[in-house]
């Protein structure tokens, strides 16, 4: 196996970060750099990330444009932004329909932040995934 790189994690909830830290220690993972904070106000590193992953959260940010610009700052020139999110369809679970982004809306926001879309795919019955390059 190759050398393990650093993995950065950010969440508003200190309880979530605390649980992840405990699990990482239990699993012997020493390459995690975990922080509590707002994505709008946080750049974890400059041009150092191969991947910035948003796991069903882009619709939750107060300022998605600023978060996307921060992600772009963190990515290496050949890095990838991965956005996994809820489809904008009525279902009995997940966030309210009115705050979800459609695939087109998410693509438009990602492109407006200076990314080039590589792929938009279905990710199961409830989600889509967007892959983009800076």
pLDDT score at 30: 86
Q: Examine the domain organization and report whether 102 and 63 are in the same domain.
A: yes
- 25-34, 59-68, 107-116, 123-132: range with lowest mean pLDDT: 25-34
Contact (Cβ atoms closer than 8 angstroms) between residue 106 and residue 114: no
Is 32 within a domain? yes
Q: Examine the domain organization and report whether 84 and 27 are in the same domain.
A: no
Query: What pTM, to 2 d.p., does this model score?
Result: 0.87
- At 52-102, the pLDDT tens digits run 999 999 999 999 999 999 999 999 999 999 999 999 999 999 999 999 999
Identity of the highest mean pLDDT range in 11-20, 28-37, 42-51, 107-116: 107-116
pLDDT over 80 at 111, yes or no: yes
In whole numbers, what is the pLDDT of the chain averaged over residues?
A: 92
pLDDT over 70 at 32, yes or no: yes
Cα(41)–Cα(39) distance, integer angstroms: 5
pLDDT score at 98: 95
Question: What count of other Cβ atoms lies within 10 Å of the Cβ of residue 119?
Answer: 10
Q: Which CATH number belongs to the domain containing residue 112 in this structure?
A: 3.40.50.150
Q: What is the DSSP string of the chain?
A: ------EEEEES-HHHHHHHHHHHHHHT---EEEEES-GGG----SS-EEEEEEES-GGG-S-HHHHHHHHHHHEEEEEEEEEEEE-SS--SSSS-GGGPPPHHHHHHHHHHTT-EEEEEEE-SSSEEEEEEE-
**What range does the domain containing 63 cover?**
47-133
Q: Examine the domain organization and report whether 91 and 56 are in the same domain.
A: yes
2: confidence class by pLDDT, cuts 50, 70, 90: very low
Q: Examine the domain organization and report whether 91 and 113 are in the same domain.
A: yes
- The percentage of residues in the chain with a pLDDT greater than 90, rounded to a whole number, is 78
Q: Examine the domain organization and report whether 59 and 85 are in the same domain.
A: yes
Q: Examine the domain organization and report whether 56 and 117 are in the same domain.
A: yes
- The total domain count for the chain is 2
Residue 92 in tokens? 């009995």
pLDDT over 70 at 103, yes or no: yes
Is 116 within a domain? yes
């Amino acid at each position: 196996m190759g050398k393990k790189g650093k993995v950065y994690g950010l969440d508003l909830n200190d309880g979530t970060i605390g649980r992840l830290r405990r699990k990482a220690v239990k699993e012997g993972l020493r390459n995690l750099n975990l922080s509590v904070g707002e994505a709008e106000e946080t750049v974890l590193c400059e041009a150092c990330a191969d991947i910035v992953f948003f796991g069903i959260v882009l619709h939750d940010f107060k300022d998605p444009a600023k978060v996307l610009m921060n992600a772009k700052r963190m990515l290496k020139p050949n890095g990838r932004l991965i956005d996994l999110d809820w489809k904008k369809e009525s279902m009995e679970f997940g966030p309210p329909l009115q705050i979800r982004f459609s695939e087109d809306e998410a693509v438009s926001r990602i492109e407006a932040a200076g990314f080039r879309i590589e792929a938009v795919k279905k990710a199961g019955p409830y989600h889509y995934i967007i892959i983009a390059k800076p």
